[in-house]
């Protein structure tokens, strides 16, 4: 059970939706670059304007995909109430 207020939950859900959109764009760009074996590719992200992506950017895009996936996992954990990662208990005598 999550102890997030409705406002915080809506905020984290909006952040999660934005990250999913960014991940979708990154995956699409990566896949199209691989499929075309293109030297460069024009991308309309609808978020930051048009961008030019070069084939050398494949590693950078792949790293960004991994980062986005981690951020999504973290946001999903927050929404599920898993914000507490570590709890140390001590017995007092």
Query: From CA 29, how far away is CA 80, in angstroms rounded?
Result: 30
DSSP 46: S
Determine the Cα–Cα distance for residues 57 and 63; give it in Å rounded to an integer: 10
Q: Residue 55's pLDDT band (boundaries 50, 70, 90)?
A: low
CB neighbours of residue 26 within 10 Å: 21
d(CA 86, CA 76): 17
The tens digit of pLDDT for each residue in 70-89 reads 999 999 998 887 655 556 66
Write the pLDDT tens digit of every residue in 18-38.
999 999 999 998 888 888 765
65 token code pair: 């995909």
């Amino acid at each position: 059970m999550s102890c997030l207020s409705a406002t915080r939950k809506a905020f984290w859900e909006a952040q999660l939706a934005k990250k999913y959109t960014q991940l979708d764009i990154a995956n699409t760009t990566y896949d199209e670059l691989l499929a075309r074996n293109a030297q460069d590719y024009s991308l309309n992200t609808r978020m930051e304007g048009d961008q030019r992506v070069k084939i050398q950017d494949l590693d950078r895009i792949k790293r960004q995909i991994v980062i986005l996936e981690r951020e999504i996992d973290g946001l999903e954990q927050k929404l599920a109430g898993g914000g507490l990662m570590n709890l140390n208990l001590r017995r007092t005598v």
